[in-house]
């Protein structure tokens, strides 16, 4: 079974804490995406699973065995990197064949497996070419073929699409997902690209500064980000946040900001009271905000960006905080300089303790 379990894993490089107390269980046949900004420790986690780095603490299990003391080549994993690392002097056929040959498998058996892997990635007509005679996308497919030919239990992929141009990246993304379903294998996939993460993952594991912030399906991460960091990392344009303090106006608890009073639902009021937060970050997704002639937050329209399929209206609150509103093309768009009011349903707000970044309530 291809599950991967990390328990209490940490790794330092000198004084840098690259991975901090990491607990993660990747299910058999799951496509799990490790997502996070540059330097947050994604590659280190992958390299620890692969056995290319030893953790300072914690255990790594692949299937149902602890592999801390198992050599990388005996872990039954295959790794695909950003730079495909093909052998330039070898044909596509020999590149794909290489890992099998290293294992001493007899030629007839190898030829069958190479033909099958090449076929499943559309490489059959290219088997006699060398890497220099291929496009970037074709090279990446050769790297994938070389990884799948060994039938590993688990694939580890580190930004495998980042060298491809935008169009090819989208196409290869789809091919990779289809391949994973067809082979029914487990994939741990590293990227800093939130769109890649959102579109490919069964579950997203969002990392920040060496630690896991949230592990959940993409829709759940988007709808209920567990922390302010996740809230602002996922979504484009990013979630707006306005900082304020819990305060009562006419007996009703809300969040008082210098730009206006933000009303809350009864459930949110309870959650804010139960938390000891002195200062609250109120998160608003740009597509959840409406522009009207009245509403809780007065604002001035600073800039309107038209993207064809949507508009981004950048508004400035009374206290100069910026709020981006995403409007479809079927609603009226205000003019730059217009004085407006921003509205939202309290149920669509996200509340975080501004000091810790922890989510408040559901």
Ligand X SMILES: Nc1ncnc2c1ncn2[C@@H]1O[C@H](COP(=O)(O)OP(=O)(O)OP(=O)(O)O)[C@@H](O)[C@H]1O
Rounded to 5 degrees, φ, ψ at 262 are: -100, 115
Q: Are 127 and 116 in contact (CB under 8 A)?
A: no
Q: Does 172 bind Mg ion (CB under 5 A)?
A: no
> Which residue among 1, 8, 13, 25 contacts ligand X (CB under 6 A)?
13
Q: Does 38 bind ligand X (CB under 6 A)?
A: yes
Contact stretch for ligand X (CB under 6 A) within 36-44, 100-108, 168-176, 323-331: 36-44
Integer Cα distance of 360 and 362 in angstroms: 7
| Among Mg ion, ligand X, none, residue 334 binds (CB under 5-8 Å by kind) | none
- Sorted by sequence, the CB contacts under 8 Å of residue 322 that are 6+ apart come out as 240, 302, 314, 315, 316
> Contacts with Mg ion in 7-46 (CB under 5 A)?
43
Instruction: Number of helices (H) and strands (E) in the chain: give both, helices first.
Output: 9, 20
> Contacts with Mg ion in 42-101 (CB under 5 A)?
43
Measured from the CB atom, the residue of 28 and 53 that comes closer to ligand X is 53
Q: Does 52 bind ligand X (CB under 6 A)?
A: no
> Which residue among 5, 42, 275, 360 contacts ligand X (CB under 6 A)?
42
C-alpha dist (Å) from residue 98 to 81, 106, 311: 17, 12, 51
| Among ligand X, Mg ion, none, residue 221 binds (CB under 5-8 Å by kind) | none
Q: For residue 38, how many other CB atoms are within 10 A of its CB?
A: 7
For ligand X (CB under 6 A), the number of binding residues is 12
Closest separation between CB of residue 37 and Mg ion, Å?
10
Q: Are 190 and 34 in contact (CB under 8 A)?
A: yes
Contact stretch for ligand X (CB under 6 A) within 34-42, 118-126, 146-154, 231-239: 34-42
Residue 299's closest CA among 355, 345, 240? 240
Q: Does 240 bind Mg ion (CB under 5 A)?
A: no
| Binding positions for ligand X, rule: CB under 6 A | 13, 16, 18, 36, 38-44, 192
């Amino acid at each position: 079974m291809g599950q991967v379990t990390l328990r209490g894993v940490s790794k330092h490089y000198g004084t840098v804490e690259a991975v901090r107390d990491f607990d993660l269980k990747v299910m058999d046949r799951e496509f799990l995406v490790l997502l996070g900004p540059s330097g947050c420790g994604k590659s280190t986690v992958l390299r620890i699973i692969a056995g290319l780095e030893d953790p300072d603490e914690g255990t790594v299990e692949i299937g149902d065995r602890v592999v801390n003391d198992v050599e990388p080549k005996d872990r039954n994993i295959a790794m695909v990197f950003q730079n495909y690392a093909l052998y330039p002097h070898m044909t596509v056929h020999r590149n794909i064949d290489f890992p099998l040959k290293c294992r001493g498998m007899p030629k007839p058996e190898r030829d069958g497996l190479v033909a099958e892997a090449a076929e499943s990635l559309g490489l059959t007509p290219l088997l006699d070419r060398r890497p220099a005679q291929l496009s970037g996308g074709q090279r990446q497919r050769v790297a994938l073929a070389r990884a799948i030919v060994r039938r590993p239990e688990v694939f580890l992929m580190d930004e495998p699409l980042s060298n491809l141009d935008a169009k090819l990246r989208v196409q290869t993304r789809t091919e990779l997902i289809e391949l994973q379903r067809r082979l029914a294998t487990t994939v741990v996939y590293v990227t800093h690209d939130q769109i890649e993460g959102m579109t490919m993952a069964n579950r997203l594991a969002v990392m920040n500064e060496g630690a896991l912030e949230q592990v959940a399906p993409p829709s759940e991460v988007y709808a209920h980000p567990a922390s302010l960091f996740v809230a602002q990392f996922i979504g484009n344009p990013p979630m707006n946040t306005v900082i304020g303090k819990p305060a009562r106006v006419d007996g009703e608890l809300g969040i008082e900001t210098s730009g206006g009073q933000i009303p809350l639902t009864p459930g949110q009021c309870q959650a804010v009271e139960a938390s000891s937060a002195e200062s609250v970050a109120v998160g608003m997704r740009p597509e959840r905000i409406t522009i009207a002639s009245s509403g809780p937050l007065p604002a001035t329209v600073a800039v309107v960006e038209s993207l064809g399929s949507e508009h981004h209206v950048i508004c400035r609150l009374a206290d100069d905080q910026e709020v981006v509103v995403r409007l479809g093309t079927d609603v009226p768009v205000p003019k730059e300089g217009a004085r407006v009011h921003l509205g939202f349903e309290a149920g669509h707000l996200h509340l975080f303790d501004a000091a810790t970044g922890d989510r408040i309530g559901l």
